[in-house]
Amino acid sequence: MKNFGFKELTVYKKSFELAMKIFEVSKSFPKEETYSLTDQIRRSSRSVSTSIAEAYRKRIYPAHFISKTSDADMENSETQVWLDFAKECNYITAEIKDNLDKEAAEIGRLLNHMINYPEKYTSG
């Protein structure tokens, strides 16, 4: 196990960057979406990073690490669904959606590696 903080994890950096891109894009969503789509997509995208941080702190307990990493993966998938809604509601272009989706898919692959090979990330 490497000895560094969660902020040094590639998956954390990528998920944080994606959440910030989604924040910027969602600024242009209509006012009537403030308490639904805008809040939901921001919340789920930010939850990926926070769950990664929590998983890292639980890394001495492999089952907890896997559970929290799975939560991050779930939030990442939810974010992708909200991107589908944003595109279908014509709040973002197909190109923006595709680019954000590709980033989310890469994050998903990294998270799944962590879930499938927890011993590479845990001290247990």
| Domains of the chain: total | 1
In a domain, 53, yes or no: yes
Which runs of E-coded beta strand occur in 80-121?
A: none
pLDDT, tens digit (0-9, with 9 covering 90-100), for 49-61: 999 999 999 999 9
Whether residue 1 lies inside any domain: the answer is: no
The domain spanning residue 99 has which CATH number?
Answer: 1.20.1440.60
| Structural domain of 102 | 6-119
Q: How far apart are CA 81 and CA 5, in angstroms?
A: 30
From first to last of its 124 residues, the chain has per-residue pLDDT tens of 445 689 999 999 999 999 999 999 999 999 999 989 999 999 999 999 999 999 999 999 999 999 999 999 999 999 999 999 999 999 999 999 999 999 999 999 999 999 999 999 886 5
Domain-embedded: residue 51:
yes
In a domain, 124, yes or no: no
Q: Report if residue 22 sits inside a domain.
A: yes
